[in-house]
Amino acid sequence: MTDSIIVDDLRFQLRRSSRRTTVGITIDRDGSLILSAPVECPIEQITQIAREKQLWIYRKLMEREQLALEGSKREFVSGEGFWYLGRSYRLHLVEPRGADDLAPALRLYRGRFTLRRDQIPNARNHFIRWYANHGRSRIESSVELLAPRIGVHPESVSVRELKHRWGSCTPRGRLHFHWRVALLPQPMVDYLVAHELVHLHEPNHAGEFWRRLERVIPDYAERKAWLAENGARYDL
């Protein structure tokens, strides 16, 4: 059951579940606030818990804004760190070897990203394409592993720009993932893949959706919370 609660200037999406025994608060990737509570928990108690957590929520929202600002200050200079599958790799700028240089503009080589210096003006686009290409193989491997366990057969997998969403799926079974998924640690990739695969059974985030997800990702709640708190730092 889904509803909403307003506490001063904070609006929460309330999700009740018969499987929950405590009230929890998470901050989604787009900054939306989610209250998860047991079915029988009184609304007054839920509101009081949300009010007691206001300072913590404000602090987390400010941290997310700061992480987003830091992510937007990429300079593409040697020594700068860039994420891939949860690990930070240093960037090394290399000089082009001439007009007929066929070396890739960007590659991950010997434990670091190398970028041709003449490609700095297009560096962000090169990284996005690199993440989309390499992330897709990782995501497809996760799909191949998890789809049989969930009992679904997705029609296709694509990696693209999805704005504020990590992933989405269509009723026909087409899965779409943000290129930023490639920056995340592999357990988070698996969680996001499983999340979209379960949607092929359950289109909404009702109780059965979370039960199905828990069967394949038993610690999905911890991964979901980690992603909500840390996902903003994995960007360009």
Rounded Cα gap, residues 103 and 119, in angstroms: 12
Rounded CA gap, 132 and 158, in Å? Answer: 9
Contacts with 50 (C-beta within 8 Å, 6 or more apart), sequence order = 5, 7, 10, 12, 25, 35
Contact (CB, 8 A) for 146 and 197: yes
Q: Distance between alpha carbon 93 and the CA centroid of its chain, in Å?
A: 28
What does the alpha-carbon distance between residue 82 and residue 185 come to, in Å, rounded to a whole number?
13
Of the listed ranges 6-10, 78-82, 138-142, the least confidently predicted one is: 6-10
pTM over 0.75: no
Of 71, 92, 126, at which residue does a domain stop?
71
Dump the DSSP string for the chain: -EEEEEETTEEEEEEEETT--S-EEEE-TTS-EEEEEETT--HHHHHHHHHHTHHHHHHHHHHHHHHHHHHT-----TT-EEEETTEEEEEEEE----TT--S-SEEEETTEEEEEGGGGGGHHHHHHHHHHHHHHHHHHHHHHHHHHHHT---SEEEEE--TT-SEEE-TT-EEEEEGGGGGS-HHHHHHHHHHHHHHTT-SS-SHHHHHHHHHH-TTHHHHHHHHHHHGGGS--
Same domain membership, residue 143 and residue 41 = no
Indicate if 130 and 223 belong to the same structural domain.
yes
- 217: in domain: yes
Domain CATH code at residue 191: 3.30.2010.10
Domain count along the chain:
2
Domain boundary among 71, 97, 117: 71
- Residue 202 and residue 94 in one domain: yes
Q: Are 178 and 158 contacting, i.e. CB atoms less than 8 angstroms apart?
A: no
Q: Are residues 50 and 143 in the same domain?
A: no
**Band of the pLDDT at 18, cuts 50, 70, 90?**
confident
Clarify whether residues 213 and 108 are in a common domain: yes
Segment among 8-12, 127-131, 215-219 with least mean pLDDT: 8-12
39 in any annotated domain:
yes
Are 54 and 146 in a shared domain? no
Residues 87 and 182 in one domain: yes
- Is 47 part of a structural domain of the chain? yes
157 pLDDT above the threshold of 50: yes
Supply the pLDDT for residue 64: 72
149 and 204 both lie in a single domain: yes
User: Residue 183 in contact with residue 131, Cβ under 8 Å?
Assistant: yes
Q: Are 199 and 169 in contact (CB under 8 A)?
A: yes
Whether 154 is in a domain gets the answer yes
Same domain, 164 and 108: yes
76 belongs to a structural domain: no
In the predicted model, what is the mean pLDDT of residues 36-57?
90
User: Which of 3-7, 124-128, 177-181, 184-188 has the lowest average pLDDT?
Assistant: 3-7
| 132/176 same-domain check | yes
Is 95 a member of any domain? yes
Say if residue 33 is in the same domain as residue 116.
Answer: no
Q: Which domain does 6 fall in, by range?
A: 2-71
Residue linked to tokens 């987390």: 60
User: Based on the domain organization, do 173 and 135 belong to the same domain?
Assistant: yes
